[in-house]
Amino acid sequence: MQDGYSEKAYPGIGRLNYFLAKVLMLFLIIAAVFYFGPGSGVIGPLSLAATVASFVLDVMRLRNIGISQWFVFLRFLPYVGLIYWTYLQSAQSGWIETKRFDRAGWAIIATHAAIIVILFYILYRMPGMEIFGISF
């Protein structure tokens, strides 16, 4: 699937490679925790390396979308990080040109919204749970 924009005009990492790199990092971290154990001394440096790698991937994705790399710091804000991550996955290469999502982008947004709604429903159904400080 071609986005129709030149790689020279918008260098960086496309949304499929971005998603696959994030999933690969997640699986590697889970495998390391199972192999070394959660209390191991390896987990600290590994989590730092994963944070730096994720930060670099986000910067590369922002370059591909065509917006400032300074937006990478939005990932550290509570609740904004979820919207930021959804945006990084759904925006096509050169998004800054049209500022509109394509069909695949809207499908990704709908999938993320459905997953979030399902998770909040599951949390709501659990007795004694709190969501945003509200007891149920």
Q: Are 105 and 31 in contact (CB under 8 A)?
A: no
Domain extent listing, the chain: 15-135
| pLDDT tens, residue by residue, 33-55 | 999 998 889 999 999 999 999 99
The four Cα atoms 55, 57, 63, 65 give a dihedral, to 10 degrees, of -110
Relative to beta strand 130-131, strand 134-135 is antiparallel
Judged by average pLDDT, the poorest of 3-7, 23-27, 44-48, 103-107 is 3-7
123-127, long-range: CB < 8 A, 24+ apart: none
| pLDDT tens, residue by residue, 51-87 | 999 999 999 999 999 999 999 999 999 889 889 999 9
pTM score, whole prediction: 0.80
Distance CA 52, CA 89 (A): 18
**Residue 127 pLDDT > 50:** yes
Percent of the chain with pLDDT over 90: 62
- Give the pLDDT band of residue 1 (cuts 50, 70, 90): very low
Q: What is the mean pLDDT of the chain?
A: 87
Res 33: pLDDT? 93
Distance CA 53, CA 5 (A): 26
- Give the pLDDT band of residue 5 (cuts 50, 70, 90): low
Give the count of beta carbons closer than 10 Å to the beta carbon of residue 52: 10
**Residue 14 pLDDT > 80:** yes
